[in-house]
Amino acid sequence: MLYREVGQYKTNYAADMSVMPLIQDRVGIGIILFIAAVIIPYFGNAFLIQAIMIPFLVFSLAAIGLNLLTGYTGLLSLGTGAFMGVGAYACYKLTTYFPGVNILIWIIASGLFSAVVGVVFGLPSLRIKGFYLAVATLAAQFFLSWCFIRQPWFYNYNASGAIEVPTRTLFGIPVTGATAADATRYYVVLGIVVAMTWLASNLVHGRIGRMWMAVRDMDLAAELIGIRLLRTKLLAFAVSSFYCGVAGALLVFQWYGSAEPAVFDVNLSFFILFMVIIGGLGSLTGSYLGAALIFILPIVLRYIPPHLGIPIRPATVDHIQYMVIGALIVLFLIVEPNGLARLWQIGKQKLRVWPFPY
């Protein structure tokens, strides 16, 4: 009853093809954005913003990036961590060489570097498919990780091997570095992530999204209707890596404040992949849901038991986290391979006819 589409008629094709044709959806998104932009910064404490919201948004962006490649185009990638790393290190080098330029420009530009690297490592996709391609992305992952550790140029020949984020300002307000306020960093991340989500949504609802999904579903048939496979796959690699690169730059510049190369290892790749699997392959909403579940879970495990009086060691939290995530992956693949996004859709479907059962 609440989620009725009856009465909302469209009189032209453009209106019918809009991304959110139903008023309820638009209102819902509006409310979410309002909460994100106003309620949370105003009422939330530093912990909520710094340790939960900012990383959640950053991981959602990375999950969207991977989802575009794996969920929409069907190209399994285990190199997400490395592509994020390229973005982070690119941003670091760019702002080292050109400290006067607006950091936001560099954050976006670092995505371009990541896109180029993504295309290079995506070239094999012309000849290899499926999990052979996954092994190629592993090559990218290990090679790039090695670069970040062993090629001192990346970390400006720092003795520690790590990179430290310098303070940069925007309109006089510190945006990165130790002096940047939580709220400032939150707004930067929120702004970028929301904008990029909107762009991704536009892409997947139009011609390019259809091309990607066609390649995923049956690439032979896609070729037959005139889709150029290599171009489409490389575009997917480029856009996906762009998103992961920006996410990596945001991860270092707006969340951690510094980074060791070990951050962008193969485990990060797997974590983002798990977010995409659990959230739902081929769904932008799913990317957010998956990121929320995988990211919030360890926090819940870490803080709830002490609240309830059950003592739990941090190491144990890690172990249980791995077990729960592993079990959830298998569970979701068995029960709902389309992930949380599909469960959400089923929920909306029920809302359509509520209070009637069907």
Partner 1 sequence: MRAPAGPQASVGHVLLSVEDVSLSFGGVKAVSNVSFDIHKGEIRAIIGPNGAGKTSMLNIINGFYHPQQGHITFRGETRTRMQPHEAAYGGIARTFQNVALFRGMTALDNIMAGRTLKMHSSFFWQLLRHGPAMREEAEHRHRVEEIIDFLKIQDIRRVPVGRLPYGLQKRVELGRALAMEPDLLLLDEPMAGMNLEEKEDMSRFILDVNDHYGTTIALIEHDMGVVMDLSDRVVVLDHGIKIADGPPTEIKGNQAVIDAYLGVAH
Partner 2 sequence: MHLIYQIFIDPFVQMGNAPDLLVQTLWEGLVAGVLYSLIALGFVLIFKASGVFNFAQGIMVVFAALTLVGFYEHGIPAYLALALTVAVMFGLAFAVERAMLRPLVNQPDIILFMATFGLTYFLIGFGELVFGGDPKVMIASQLGLPKGAVEIKMAGGFVSLQKIDIAAAIIASLMVAALAVFFQKTRVGRALRAVADSHKAALSVGISLEYIWVIVWFAAGLVALATGIMWGARSEVSFALEIIALKALPVLILGGFTSIPGAIIGGVIIGVGEKIGEFYWGPLLGSGIETWLAYVIALVFLLFRPQGLFGERIIERI
Residues of this chain that bind partner 1 (CB under 8 A): 12-14, 16-17, 19, 199, 202-203, 205-208, 210-211, 213-214, 216-218, 220-229, 235, 282
CB closer to partner 2, 307 vs 313: 313
Give which of 250, 121, 117, 234 is closest to 186, Cα–Cα.
Answer: 250
Which are the contacts of 189, defined by CB distance < 8 A and separation ≥ 6? 54, 57, 58, 250, 254, 255
CB closer to partner 1, 223 vs 336: 223
Cis peptide before 99 (omega within 30 of 0): no
Give kind and range of the element (H or E) at residue 94: helix 80-97
CB closer to partner 1, 149 vs 229: 229
CB closer to partner 2, 199 vs 262: 262
CB closer to partner 1, 136 vs 215: 215
Contact yes or no for 341/286 (Cβ under 8 A)? yes
Minimum distance from residue 218 beta carbon to partner 1 (Å): 5
Task: Look at residue 260 and give the partner it binds from partner 2, partner 1, none, a contact being a CB closer than 5 to 8 Å depending on partner kind.
Answer: none
CB closer to partner 2, 47 vs 146: 146
Task: Look at residue 14 and give the partner it binds from partner 2, partner 1, none, a contact being a CB closer than 5 to 8 Å depending on partner kind.
Answer: partner 1
For 30, the token pair is: 């509006």
CB closer to partner 2, 191 vs 326: 326
Task: Look at residue 5 and give the partner it binds from partner 1, partner 2, none, a contact being a CB closer than 5 to 8 Å depending on partner kind.
Answer: none
**Residues 337, 57, 154: CA angle, nearest 5 degrees:** 105
Contact yes or no for 269/324 (Cβ under 8 A)? no
Residues that bind partner 2 (CB under 8 A): 76, 124, 127-128, 130-132, 135-136, 138-139, 142-143, 145-146, 149-151, 220, 266, 270, 273-274, 277, 315-316, 318-330, 333-334, 337
Minimum distance from residue 113 beta carbon to partner 2 (Å): 20
Task: Look at residue 347 and give the partner it binds from partner 1, partner 2, none, a contact being a CB closer than 5 to 8 Å depending on partner kind.
Answer: none
Task: Look at residue 203 and give the partner it binds from partner 2, partner 1, none, a contact being a CB closer than 5 to 8 Å depending on partner kind.
Answer: partner 1
Give the count of beta carbons closer than 10 Å to the beta carbon of residue 229. 16
Give the phi and the psi of residue 70 in degrees, each rounded to 5.
-90, -40
- Cα(55)–Cα(318) distance, integer angstroms: 18
Q: Which ranges constitute the DSSP H helices of 218-338?
A: 219-224, 229-250, 266-279, 284-307, 314-335
Minimum distance from residue 290 beta carbon to partner 2 (Å): 13
Task: Look at residue 159 and give the partner it binds from partner 1, partner 2, none, a contact being a CB closer than 5 to 8 Å depending on partner kind.
Answer: none
Q: Name the one residue in this structure whose structure tokens are 């029920």.
A: 350
